[in-house]
Structure 1
Amino acid sequence: MSVLQDILAVNASFCAAPPMDYTQEDHQQSKLPQKQVAIITCMDTRLVNFLEPALGLARGDAKVIKTAGNSVTGVFDGTIRSLMVCIYELGVKEILVIGHHECGMSKTTSQSLTKAMLSRGVPKEAIHMIAKELKEWADEFQHPEQNVIDTVEAIRLNPLIPADVPVHGLIFHPRTGKLDVIIEGYDYAKK
């Protein structure tokens, strides 16, 4: 069986007898985050079903945006666009940037990605089109804590994000669940 076939089989079983705690709430569940918070975090598999419970967040509490290395790569990249919808359409009032220790992005380089893409048949011309952005993104990520600081600053200084929205920076440990504050956004948010 393929991965897709496995997922569809599990989904059919799930839908035949869905957990009551999900289906009973659906008529009450809103698309608006109850805690009015957006979280930008990494796509690391170790965070799935671990990060949110470690923060005391349940279904419907927050908007969670996952991206490799919890990074912002431009003034109007996908993360910023998602935050704009969160703030202007869904009532988000605070942003948490949560990086994590042992992040794989700290070992990823433009060279390693280029080599892997070439080996998978991506044309050199296609890689050449993104070479500058690839280098700026992959090679700039050296340390998870510094990346959190950089991402917080990129969001805080972005002209599309209101200055009164606190942007907090935190680091999470994927083995223990411990969360540490790097930047408390209340200090920088303009009232």
Structure 2
Amino acid sequence: MTGAFDDLLAANETYASTFSQGDLTGRAARGLAVVTCMDSRIDPLGLLGLRAGDAKILRNAGARVTDDVLRTLVLAVYLLGVDRVLVMPHTDCRMSKSTDDEVHRLISAEYGIDTRSLEFQTVRDQEETLRHDITRIMTSPFLPANLTVGGALYDVRTGALRLVETPRP
């Protein structure tokens, strides 16, 4: 592992030399949590006009509202000042191009690893899945009924967001 992270440590040394955000608290200054994908083409703060400290950013493959995301949202709402949640998947997502079975077969064939004990939560229909995940947040017994929840699809080609009509339980 020697040297594997030298570029990152050097970049951090430069960053830390002018670091000026040490006074930020752990609270979301804009009361926002964003659930988005781990895709490296997404800059959640930049595309939403936010700065460090403004929002809680939760990322995973496919921007799915998993049990862990719900757990994190409960903490964000009750301990860290979040009063609105935006679920934001994106176009050209690898999770929307395969089924779980196809991913299991690919990893097995390419790497000889049996991943069948994992649920990848691939996405057949992004808008329907987005509505499902929003409903999951809105109907959680652990989150307040008045929590504002919305969804938008981020276009990785244009940088534009398109709001998706959200269900009302």
Per the TM alignment, residue 37 of structure 1 is displaced from its structure 2 partner at its CA by 0.9
Picking from 138, 152, 165, the partner of 1:170 is 152
Count of residues in Structure 1 that have an aligned counterpart in Structure 2:
167
Q: Read off the aligned partner of 2:92 and give its amino acid letter.
A: E
The 1-side partners of 2:98 and 2:4 are apart by 26
Superposition map of 1:176-191 within 5 A: 176-183=158-165, 188=168
Picking from 28, 34, 41, the partner of 1:39 is 34
Give per-residue Cα distances to partners, 1:85-143, cap 9 Å, x unaligned: 10011121111111112111111322332134334343x4xx4444xx44xx22xx113
Any unmatched runs of 5+ in structure 1?
none
Per the TM alignment, residue 11 of structure 1 is displaced from its structure 2 partner at its CA by 2.0
The 1-side partners of 2:154 and 2:81 are apart by 25
Q: Is the 8 A contact 2:154 2:161 kept in 1?
A: yes
Q: Is the 8 A contact 2:37 2:63 kept in 1?
A: yes
Secondary structure at the aligned position of 1:66 is classed as: strand
Q: Partner residue of 2:111?
A: 120
Q: Partner residue of 1:30?
A: 25
The 1-side partners of 2:100 and 2:150 are apart by 28
Superposition map of 1:1-191 within 5 A: 3-15=4-16, 17-18=17-18, 22-23=19-20, 25-27=21-23, 29-48=24-43, 51-73=44-66, 77-118=67-108, 119-122=110-113, 124=114, 127-130=115-118, 133-134=119-120, 137-138=121-122, 141-183=123-165, 188=168
- The runs of 4+ residues in structure 1 deviating greater than 4 Å are none
The 2-side partners of 1:177 and 1:128 are apart by 35
Change (3 A) 1:11 1:92: same
Q: TM-score, normalised on structure 1?
A: 0.77
Instruction: Please identify which structure carries the higher helix content.
Output: 1
Secondary structure at the aligned position of 2:89 is classed as: strand
Per the TM alignment, residue 54 of structure 1 is displaced from its structure 2 partner at its CA by 2.2
- Report percent identity of matched pairs: 29
Q: Read off the aligned partner of 1:44 and give its amino acid letter.
A: D
Change (3 A) 1:161 1:46: same
Any unmatched runs of 5+ in structure 2?
none
Q: RMSD value over aligned CA atoms?
A: 2.2
